[in-house]
Chains A and B, each alone.
Chain A
Amino acid sequence: MPKITFIDVDGTKFETNVASGLSVMEGAINAGVPGVLAICGGSCACSTCHAYVDDAWTAVVGGPNDIEDATLDLANERKPSSRLTCQVTVTDAMDGLVIHVAKND
């Protein structure tokens, strides 16, 4: 299972293995990362699972889909590496992925 490292807003690091096919958001929830709120549960309806893909991984992870892009439009401190983690499906190629959690509130 791919290993993913989450770095929460306050700098706390969470290392976890996430099965391919789950979303990155589900990986964060299962690992108990407090900054990933995911209020809508992964329906791409709220933007509270916002995070930044580490610069080394943006090519592997890719950019947002259309609905996600629109939902992120006004997100707090959006960056080019911004993703809604509920919309990122974990693949074997993401082993070692590093995710920086955005300020979700």
Chain B
Amino acid sequence: MSIVIVGAGQAGLQIAESLRRGGYEGRVLLLGDESFAPYQRPPLSKKYLADDMADERLQFRPVEQLTKQNIEFRPLTTVTAIDRAAGEVVLASGERVAYEGLALTTGTRVRPLPVPGAEHPAVCYLRGLDDAKRLRSQLASAARVLVIGGGFIGLEVAATARHAGKTVTVVETLDRLMARAVAPVVSEYFAELHRGHGVELRFKVALTAIAGNPDGSLTATLSDGSTVDADLLVAGIGVLPNQELAAAAGLECANGIVVDEFARTSDPRIVAAGDCTWHINRRFAAPLRLESVQNAVDQGKIAAQSLLGNAVPYQDLPWFWSDQYDVKLQMVGLSQAHDSLVVRGAPESAAFSVFYFKAGELLGVDSINRPAEHMLARKLMSLGISPSPDAVADTGFDLKTLLPAP
């Protein structure tokens, strides 16, 4: 009797611990392909990159806390195949491990730069701790940093590099920052923030080639024909779900491993959770894939319940955050489909929120340096309370009064 979890990131650890809290008494094997015990990724682009933060401080738990819960954590363990007929996973070593339940929490990998010269040693990516170690070490000796991609990872790295006194250029193919996630008013605010800190932003141009120089630096050519010289190039152009293992086993995959609202794959003995899933959340009409701590934790709990035989539908509210310089951006809900928005507070004051609506219903809220409003928005949305656009626009109106009396 054992449950095998493939992938020892936040979702995998959550499933392991939720199984134990749910009373599962069989063997729990948590297989990670990295050398590290399960660790947090969000600090990798922020605090970890900025200072000498010890690796141990990234760990979710000391390994002995896993042992205490009778969770068998195995690092440096790669699963090469799932033999569904036999109910076994096959490890790179050739060892076969039997399962009664299987969880796939394989995460994502970075999208590689599709340009000639991308294998240059001064090109870095950021996804795992190994990436962060390499980036941190190369950042220390770099003077000029070129960031490809004006999304969360690119901008957090840009902020950290600028804070360390580096010359920083950010190249973004679209016409604004974080375009897939936030409204133009938020993009504008962050563009001004980065420019104010001395970052050069280049919009509507793409990287087309990288050439090495004799001194170890590189020259990047952009689509407008211009060039940028840099000692370090950091690419943050998105990630790809690790679904090949699932696909090879015949499990349905789309933009991620397909799971239902109970985190079950097309094989009822196999669940999946976290960044790697193309999943159903009862709050939304269409399936989606999310790259977030919230999804790893909340969907992980649902997946564990399914393995325990309890079908609990996934309906948690998505939330995200990004720290750039001393500015805290917090997001709740999914706002991409909005047809109107209301800005509450003034962007010039460096503290405001954007409320996104569709047909008058609140879809989501982005808060900049307004943590109380973010927490309030989370509470309102989780209770299904949608303030009217007029109420939101009236800064004299206390949105807290919309909460039910305690």
Q: Which residues of A contact B (CB under 8 A)?
A: 22, 26, 29-30, 32, 34, 39-47, 67, 70-71, 73-75
Contacts and interface: CB of A to CB of B under 8 A. Distances in A.
Nearest to B41: A41
B345 to A, nearest CB: 13
B57 A39 contact: no
B376 A73 contact: yes
A40 B375 contact: no
Given A29-B60, A30-B62, A43-B321, A70 B372 contact: yes
A71 B375 contact: yes
B297 interface: yes
Contact of A74 (B43, B293, B379): B379
Contact of B371 (A26, A29, A41, A71): A71
Nearest to B372: A70
| Closest A-B pairs by Cβ, 10 of them | A70-B372, A41-B40, A70-B371, A32-B65, A45-B321, A73-B372, A71-B371, A74-B375, A67-B371, A74-B379
Interface string B351-391: 00000000000000000001110011001000000000000
B328 to A, nearest CB: 7
Contacts, number: 56
Contacts of A70: 370-372, 375
Decide if the interface of chain B is mainly helix, strand, loop or mixed. helix
Contacts of A32: 61, 65, 68
Nearest to A71: B371
B42 interface: yes
A26 B321 contact: no
Given A32-B68, A45-B321, A39 B375 contact: no
B372 A40 contact: no
Contact of A29 (B61, B376, B400): B61
B42 A40 contact: yes
A63 to B, nearest CB: 16
A41 B42 contact: yes
Contacts of A46: 319
A94 B328 CA distance: 29
Contacts of A44: 328, 371
B324 interface: no
B169 interface: no
A67 B367 CA distance: 13
Nearest to A67: B371
Contacts of A26: 57
A97 B83 CA distance: 52
A92 B43 CA distance: 26
Contacts of A74: 372, 375-376, 379, 400, 403
Contacts of B61: 29-30, 32
A41 B39 CA distance: 10
Contacts of B403: 74
A101 to B, nearest CB: 16
A43 B42 contact: yes
Contacts of A75: 375
A71 B372 contact: yes
A57 B338 CA distance: 48
Given A41-B40, A45-B321, A73 B375 contact: yes
A22 B21 CA distance: 27
Nearest to B62: A30
Given A39-B297, A40-B42, A41-B60, 10 more contacts: A29-B60, A30-B61, A39-B294, A41-B43, A43-B323, A44-B328, A47-B375, A70-B372, A70-B375, A75-B375
B305 interface: no
B281 interface: no
A26 B65 CA distance: 13
Nearest to B17: A34
Contacts of B371: 44-45, 67, 70-71, 73
B48 to A, nearest CB: 11
A71 B68 CA distance: 32
Interface string B253-286: 0000000000000000000000000000000000
